[in-house]
Amino acid sequence: MNPEIVVATKADIPDLILSASRLFAEDGGRRDPFMDTGWPAREGAAYYGQLVDSADCLCLLARNDQVEGHLTGRIATSALRPGAVVAVLESMHVAAEHRRRGIGSALVERFFEWAGGHSANEFSVTAYASNEAALALYRKHGFAPFEVTLTRGSSPAR
């Protein structure tokens, strides 16, 4: 059964925190040694409270009897790129046991619809280079590389 995709309200903040905690542990916790995996539990209530109250932000939940995933996004503008109204897909997660059922695509499509209503003329998302499944999903929805961030630890690789 396909989940219902809903716009989150203040009452849904615990569900957003739960899904974000799963994302931080699974994605960042495995791929980034500096990721603060406790951030959602510690800071999530205030952070998501601001997002659900902002007209320039979107918080979606995918759920049936339980939370199956989430997406957060926002509209961003910059004086450096005055013509760009960028819809930033900030965070997305689908629980492992619910993947490959179209939930991620449904969340992204709802994000595109919302962004269109906010005059977005560009879309962006950031993903770990090693997260091949996420990269494939985003490419499927038309995202392509625009900038590349290269990092290096404190000791150069030899």
Q: What is the pTM of this model?
A: 0.91
CATH architecture under which domain 4-140 falls: 3-Layer(aba) Sandwich (3.40)
Separation CA 100–CA 93 (nearest Å): 12
* Token pair for 44: 């999530």
* Token pair for 28: 């960042």
- What was the pLDDT predicted at 23? 96
Give the residue from 120, 95, 79 showing the smallest Cα distance to 15: 95
- What was the pLDDT predicted at 158? 62
Per-residue pLDDT tens for 113-139?
Answer: 999 999 999 999 999 999 999 999 999
Separation CA 87–CA 57 (nearest Å): 9
pLDDT in tens, the chain (158 residues): 788 999 999 999 999 999 999 999 999 889 999 999 999 999 999 999 999 999 999 999 999 989 999 999 999 999 999 999 999 999 999 999 999 999 999 999 999 999 999 999 999 999 999 999 999 999 999 999 898 888 778 776 66
Interhelix angle 13-23/39-53, rounded to 10 degrees, is 130
DSSP string across 51-99: HHH-TTEEEEEEESSSEEEEEEEEEEEETTEEEEEEEEEEEEEE-GGG-
Domain ranges, ordered by start, for the chain:
4-140
DSSP 100: S
